[in-house]
Amino acid sequence: EAGVAQSPRYKIIEKRQSVAFWCNPISGHATLYWYQQILGQGPKLLIQFQNNGVVDDSQLPKDRFSAERLKGVDSTLKIQPAKLEDSAVYLCASSPPHGLGNTGELFFGEGSRLTVL
């Protein structure tokens, strides 16, 4: 079974530039998550999709971050304009239905490492 695919693995940009990350979840996984992991910290949830719809984006800095999930499959996360503090690893994860609103095991991609200079 193919895992969660993310690209690019590495990206270096200047502050105020824009960047986009792409994620292809495991086939059949309805729920997709974007996490931000700053060096030395645990992952922080940015946005959670259930099929096409947004379930939680309470910690997404909406003035500069945007995300979409087309046709309930692939997803893109965009940052525009980037700030120095956006330097982090952006992790995409997906999960199959777990029932009763519970959250089961998440399957993570390898992440996209962003450096903002």
Sole binder of another protein in the list 19, 106, 114, 116 (CB under 8 A) = 106
Q: Which stretch binds another protein (CB under 8 A): 19-27, 66-74, 75-83, 104-112?
A: 104-112
- Give the separation between CA 87 and CA 117, rounded to whole angstroms: 9
**Backbone dihedral region of 9: left (phi > 0), alpha (psi from -120 to 50 degrees) or beta?**
alpha
Compare residues 57 and 74 and give the one whose CB is closer to another protein: 57
Sole binder of another protein in the list 51, 52, 59, 80 (CB under 8 A) = 59
DSSP string, 80-101: SS--GGG-EEEEEEEE---STT
- Give the separation between CA 50 and CA 40, rounded to whole angstroms: 29
Q: Which stretch binds another protein (CB under 8 A): 14-22, 34-42, 60-68, 71-79?
A: 34-42
Q: Which stretch binds another protein (CB under 8 A): 21-29, 51-59, 66-74, 75-83?
A: 51-59
How many chain residues touch another protein (CB under 8 A)?
25
For 72, the token pair is 């309930």
- Give the separation between CA 4 and CA 109, rounded to whole angstroms: 5
Residues that bind another protein (CB under 8 A): 4, 33, 35, 41-45, 48, 55-56, 59, 91, 93, 101-111
